[in-house]
Homo-oligomer: A and B are copies of this chain.
């Protein structure tokens, strides 16, 4: 069997000048890899109509599937539809499906459909649209020289949705049937890829060759994937799935099927089931934890208030941290985060609190408390827990890591999990 020849054509001046790193082709390659397809060849060119046309013609002659990315926007430098019309010797006509989409899209935005936007409905005659649920640019497909050509938008989240909902299922359908192909995917938090690999290598030296083990970073999670393509693999899959589950315990948040919950969704679901309210008292994360919670619809049912207390004075004035505690132990201490949590609980009438205080850097560290130090308190008034971590990385990385770590600790608390997570090996420095 010849494998499917899939090629990518990326277009955009910004890709040629070195101003932008191409991440879209990574997203496409990873999505294809999941269905066992490797990209054969990738061409990147600027926004030039005749160059685009010639490239499309030439690539369509060698590829079975050609995915074109970029150039679908409303401005003059968006040339994909026109170039494809030239390449396929057809005209640009008003595509009624695309027009309908644009009208719906502009109504949702509460705006008039502009002439510039309407240009996005002018597609080659034989093109069939690929829906775009979140942006103005529909994708479109047509066949040229027996090559299936798919045009996709350059906006990453629109591209991702289009891949998941339309393109990948369609390309998968071109592949030969494989009854032995099975995948199990797990959402893992709190272990990096290399640690995960080491843990599995050390614990399972007898890992069967019929099961492929794969990891994929989907920050802040790792997706762990067991894939089999043989009947031997199908037979042993349940056994090894079970072993993995027991090894990783609560580091596995869920098996990934249709719904994939984010960390704040996991926490909000647990709070909702238990009819509990949470509050946040944030110093070094500066509102990020509250912001993650409230990015979820209906967060208001379980979240009423959060405090960003960046200065010591505000920690005292807003959430009752004793100024003597601050003086004696410093802002980054077990004592202060515990008082922050209790103060926030009292002021907000919530049942559960997260409080964090740390040194995000780049400055502000000391030999005793280096940049990256953070104390986290979490739990309820009667069962408050706290831990010290040192998380290295730049400021944004640190803030994000602390926010997710805190949410994971609350998740474990709500689930009543007693096992130690692998990431608390440095626990309780005080």
Contact = CB atoms under 8 A, between A and B. Distances in A.
Interface of A: 13-23, 25-33, 38-46, 51, 55, 73-77, 108-111, 114-117, 134, 155, 193-195, 197-198, 213-217, 280, 282, 285-291, 293-295, 297-300, 303-311, 313-314, 317-318, 347-349, 360-363, 372, 390, 392-396, 399
A318 B305 contact: yes
Where chain A touches its partner, the secondary structure class is: mixed
A25 B14 CA distance: 12
Given A294-B360, A295-B396, 12 more contacts: A16-B40, A17-B30, A22-B25, A40-B51, A73-B193, A75-B215, A109-B393, A280-B287, A282-B287, A287-B289, A287-B290, A297-B360
Copies of this protein chain in the complex: 2
A362 B297 contact: yes
Nearest to A106: B392
Contacts of A362: 297
Contacts of A73: 193-194
Contact of A194 (B77, B114, B193, B213): B114
Contacts of A114: 194-195, 198
A310 B291 contact: no
Given A108-B392, A197-B116, A310 B305 contact: yes
B30 A16 contact: no
Contacts of A305: 307-311, 314, 318
Nearest to A284: B294
Given A40-B46, A110-B390, A395-B295, A311 B304 contact: yes
A45 to B, nearest CB: 5
Contact of A314 (B28, B288, B293, B304): B304
A363 B301 CA distance: 13
A389 to B, nearest CB: 10
Contacts of A44: 25, 41-44
B43 A43 contact: yes
Interface centre among A349, A361, A392 (most CB of B within 10 A): A392
A243 B3 CA distance: 55
A16 to B, nearest CB: 5
Contacts of A395: 295, 297
Contacts of A117: 194
A42 B41 contact: no
A22 B44 CA distance: 12
Nearest to A400: B295
Contacts of A213: 76
Contacts of A75: 193-194, 197, 215
B300 A311 contact: yes
A300 B310 contact: yes
A101 to B, nearest CB: 15
Contacts of A348: 314, 318
24 contacts: A13-B38, A17-B30, A18-B25, A18-B27, A22-B22, A40-B45, A42-B44, A109-B393, A110-B390, A116-B194, A116-B197, A117-B194, A282-B287, A286-B291, A286-B295, A287-B287, A288-B295, A291-B399, A297-B363, A304-B314, A305-B307, A305-B309, A306-B308, A308-B308
